[in-house]
Amino acid sequence: MMSGKNLLRMLNIGVCAGVLLAANMAAADADSGEHDRHDGRFEFALWGDMPYAKNGDDPKIPALIHSMNSEHLAFTIFDGDTKDGGSICTDELIGAQAIERFNQIKAPTVYVPGDNEWTDCHRVNNGGYNALERLDFIRRTLFNVEQSFGQHKMALEHQGSVTTPYSENTRWLHKGVVFVGLNIPGSNNNKVNDGDCLSSKSVRTQADCDADNAEYADRNAHNIAWLNESFQIAKQRHAAGVMVVMQADPGFDLPETETVNERLLPGYNGYTAFLNALAADTQAFDGQVVLVHGDTHFFKIDKPLFSQANMLKNFTRVETFGSPNVHWVKVTVDPSSKNVFHFDPVIVPGN
């Protein structure tokens, strides 16, 4: 677990290194501009939570990929869950098959891990794996190079060296916008609360849960440091916007109520510190901020970070489609416009 002193040291180092990181990010900007418009606008895709075998999604994937490949996209971002929550977490399913799918896409494709690939793999119906072993596998297999997936590649910044812890946290700059990928999955961000550890549906031991909580605490600190550093870079580069992508719905509206703040419920306390940091960074940033996630499979665009009386005006949440709705979201970015980001749901015919 990282101490407050060490985290502060990390943040200070991150701010000092911002200029160097921003310079490196210029390479990613150049590598991914093939389909940009001459007026500075560009388009990209958001998708995730698919395919789910239990919902018969596999036959729908070719049409989905064809739909994205028919557009002039700068890149695509997959926000987690390459399989359903009731299938076995095999190397093939969360590794080779996912990579093959991503590489069928013409545009550079960035992957953000979901809970179905590692956090929930301790469940009996997922094969009874050790979740931390699955996370290590993902890092070694899907984050073993500094580039994106896709037929065209894009350079990415990684928080950790490839294959090592936190290499799954990524960042790139494109045409005046900073993009951030974070490993923040569902199932309370791998934070196990008292009383939630032992179950007949899981092979976890108390020692496993203790290890999970230690992993959560360390990764959460790294996530916040990466987020804060990314906003510092955005300020240095005078970025028009910041987009943060993760898998988990952090409890914005499960269900939607005006009198209950779901983020305060125990099942969502693994996201509290991150959301507080995101709110603070957003308030201190002049541009537009978008948080993208999947997890609950309902396409949404709203401003849920605070109560209606205290809306954070430059913050927008986008939730992507998910199984069995195998569709995607097209994002148009115009750095010169007031809102910067424009979102269009793309319904794939036949899906």
Q: What is the pLDDT, as a whole number, of residue 311?
A: 84
What domains sit in the chain, N to C, each tagged with a CATH number? Answer: 4-346 (3.60.21.10)
Residue type for position 111: Y
Query: Which of these ranges, 129-143, 176-190, 308-322, has the smallest mean pLDDT?
Result: 308-322
Indicate the pLDDT class of residue 165, thresholds 50, 70 and 90. very high
Residues 6+ away with beta carbon under 8 Å from 344? 329, 330, 331, 332
Is pLDDT at 324 greater than 90 in this prediction? yes
When the pLDDT of each residue in the chain is averaged and rounded to a whole number, the result is: 90
Indicate the pLDDT class of residue 9, thresholds 50, 70 and 90. very low
Is pLDDT at 10 greater than 80 in this prediction? no
Give the pairing type, strands 42-47 and 76-78: parallel
Is pLDDT at 322 greater than 70 in this prediction? yes
Q: What is the pLDDT, as a whole number, of residue 44?
A: 99
Element (H, E) at 330: strand 328-333
Q: How many CB atoms lie within 10 A of CB 313?
A: 8
**pLDDT (tens digit, 9 = 90+) per residue, 71-95?**
999 999 999 999 999 999 999 999 9
Q: Per the structure block, which two tokens stand in for 349?
A: 């015919």
Q: Return d(Cα 205, Cα 160) in angstroms, integer.
A: 29
User: What DSSP string runs through 279-293?
Assistant: HHHHHT-SSEEEEEE
Residue type for position 112: V
Closest CA to 171 of 45, 28, 33: 28
Query: Which of these ranges, 191-205, 216-230, 247-261, 264-278, has the smallest mean pLDDT?
Result: 247-261
**pLDDT (tens digit, 9 = 90+) per residue, 28-61?**
463 445 555 557 899 999 999 999 999 999 999 9
Q: Are residues 252 and 275 in contact, defined by beta-carbon separation less than 8 angstroms? A: no
User: What DSSP string runs through 7-32?
Assistant: HHHHHHHHHHTHHHHHHHHHHHHHHT
